[in-house]
Amino acid sequence: MIYLDNSATTKPHKEILATFLKASEEYFGNPASLHKIGNEAEKLLESARRQISQLLKMDQIVFTSGGTESNNLAILGTADAYRSRGRHVVSAVTEHASVLKPLEELERRGFEVTRLAVDKFGQIDLNELKNSVRSDTILVTLMHINNETGAVHPIAEIKKILGGTRALLHTDAVQSIGKVPLDTDSMPDLLTMSAHKIHGLKGSGVLAFNKVQPGAILFGGGQESGYRSGTVAVPQAAALAKALRLAQPNPLFAEWNRNLREFFGSFDDIMIVSPDNAAPHILSVALRGAKGEVLVSGLQDEAVFVSTSSACSSKNTETSHVIEALNLPPVFREGVIRISFGAFTTQQNITDFQRAFKKVHRIIKGVRNNEN
């Protein structure tokens, strides 16, 4: 099996599974309980929190169920807490659905949202961003790395632009944590991460922030300093801390990315969708006149697993909003697939993928020629 869909999810490390199992067996107590078993669980929870805080250089760590909840808390919670300052939010058209949908909810609540367009490389115009920020802008939410194309937003530059304003910066860093270096001296005000993108467990994430107090969107027992009610999943927190400690950018990603770009460049009916300066672990390409689903299915028959753009929308037959925003030529728009690397990817995987792709491409091209 050749798994090249690591931007959708990753296979958990055995060490992380071992941490989760040990914590589940030995620290099963409710960390809010007053007795010894609860206190031991609380100590492990706070140890995990400190480790993550130190690694991210962020003051406050709130454990959540994943990237979607973290993004919702960052956007809805911050908008609610700071609405007295203003009701204007800035974002981009290529954000993940877990950002776009909360923004739609804010509009239903009377907020105004400015969605920045992107160029053919998936980049926003920084001057347009600067001109979009107003005196009543309370939040700018921009992802670090696009989950479909790997396009990178320059978070450090964006933070400088916002430096003289009252707007807070939230960054969805789900696709960048552990994959590319982060400038920890230029961190956003709020940052989202998810464990299962870095070989951790599904259902586990973090919203990290500095000097910000977002309002709660879940109400109950007031856990997580009131930011996120509900019994905290201590084993998941410990496993997430372990995953973050193990996560390191792999220099081979850039080499494999270059190798595949050269490989796809040899085909006259393939367009490389990811920009040249994209994150090295994501590469999106499009086959002219074909459907991405056909490519995915054909490669699956060869035990190769990739996706059509985003896994979150891959079962939807419509072209993704990201691909639409890039304004690709119509003949390429439906033929996009995404290849993404992880910690278990090998050079042999890349070689075998190329062999399988050539075979599937010949079959698809033969069918098209027969139809014509």
Task: Give catalytic residues, as residue numbers.
Answer: 312
Q: What is the per-residue pLDDT across 118-151, written as a single tens digit (0 to 9) for each?
A: 999 999 999 999 999 999 999 999 999 999 999 9
Q: What is the per-residue pLDDT across 219-274, written as a single tens digit (0 to 9) for each?
A: 999 999 889 999 999 999 999 999 999 999 999 999 999 999 999 999 999 999 99
Q: What is the per-residue pLDDT across 286-324, written as a single tens digit (0 to 9) for each?
A: 999 999 999 999 999 999 999 997 555 545 557 899 999
The domains of the chain are located at 2-8+249-371, 14-246
CA–CA separation, 210 vs 103, rounded Å? 22
The model's pTM: 0.94
Q: What is the mean pLDDT of residues 25-41?
A: 93
Residue type, 88: H
What is the architecture of the domain spanning 2-8+249-371?
Alpha-Beta Complex (3.90)
CA–CA separation, 189 vs 179, rounded Å? 21
- Quote the mean pLDDT of the chain: 94
Whether 14-246 and 2-8+249-371 are alike in CATH topology: the answer is no
Q: What is the DSSP letter of 163?
A: G
Q: What is the mean pLDDT of residues 77-84?
A: 97
DSSP string of 291-328, one letter each residue: -HHHHHHHHHHTTEE-BSS-TTTTTS-SPPHHHHHHT-
Q: Which CATH class name applies to 14-246? A: alpha beta
Contact between 269 and 365 under an 8 Å Cβ cutoff? The reply is yes
pLDDT of residue 314: 47
For 49, 103, 214, 222, the CA distances from 218, given in Å and listed in that order, are 20, 18, 12, 9
In this prediction, residue 81 has a pLDDT band, given cuts at 50, 70 and 90, of very high
Residue for token digits 């400038």? 183
**Angle CA 43–48–49, to nearest 5:** 95
Give residues with Cβ within 8 angstroms of 311, minimum separation 6.
Answer: 5, 7, 8, 9
Which range, of 74-78, 202-206, 229-233, averages the lowest pLDDT? 229-233
Residue for token digits 């700071």? 82
Q: What is the mean pLDDT of residues 278-291?
A: 96
